[in-house]
Chains A and B, each alone.
Chain A
Amino acid sequence: DGGITQSPKYLFRKEGQNVTLSCEQNLNHDAMYWYRQDPGQGLRLIYYSQIVNDFQKGDIAEGYSVSREKKESFPLTVTSAQKNPTAFYLCASTARGANVLTFGAGSRLTVL
């Protein structure tokens, strides 16, 4: 079955460490997105990419970085510059011209 795979599902990190969250899709979707979810705040867009080797900052990109070397993959790195990284991170994708997002199951990052 086609879908989006996010890994790891749970991740613990010490302060000052970078961590990379994986997002892989086999839907042949062109666009991919990373959202951050905090309780009571809904989802906020971190980065998005509409084609390979191109990506744009979302509303809260500071302290994060991404790459899009392959159509199927859109990893997110949470750097030590992100002041409050503990959150639930969701990856999503959509086909060209479509307007409905398909979401992965999410990765929960906890900074100790």
Chain B
Amino acid sequence: AQSVTQLDSQVPVFEEAPVELRCNYSSSVSVYLFWYVQYPNQGLQLLLKYLSGSTLVKGINGFEAEFNKSQTSFHLRKPSVHISDTAEYFCAVSERDSSYKLIFGSGTRLLVRP
């Protein structure tokens, strides 16, 4: 069975500093990987996705993530964060032959301080 682990429940960081949000997954088959962002009392919106090809994926708002198959990781990074990046970030995985069913991690709250 698939699972997703986000090791950090909250990550505080100062404005303009770099940040990495960690995500590890478990699956016995090939997967698709996603990062979604959720602002307070709103739905989720897609930041970026890995389906195939280059393991470095670039998304919206300056975020990027790298798929590492040997370490089963898909960490999210941004070189310089803004106050407006304060939000909850969710990593998600789906199996390639049942891509309609996403499994979400527990989320990481990114708190950007001035």
Contact = CB atoms under 8 A, between A and B. Distances in A.
Given A45-B102, A103-B43, A106-B42, 4 more contacts: A40-B107, A41-B106, A50-B100, A106-B43
A7 interface: no
B90 interface: yes
Contacts of B72: none
Interface residues of B, number: 24
Interface of B: 4, 6, 9, 32, 34, 36, 41-46, 49, 51, 90, 94, 99-102, 104-107
Interface of A: 4, 6, 31, 35, 40-45, 48, 50, 90, 92, 94, 99-101, 103-106, 108
Contact of B104 (A31, A42, A50, A100): A42
A99 B102 CA distance: 9
Contacts of A42: 4, 6, 90, 104-107
A92 B105 CA distance: 17
Nearest to B99: A99
B94 A99 contact: yes
Contact of B51 (A44, A92, A99): A99
A6 B41 CA distance: 13
Contacts of A6: 43
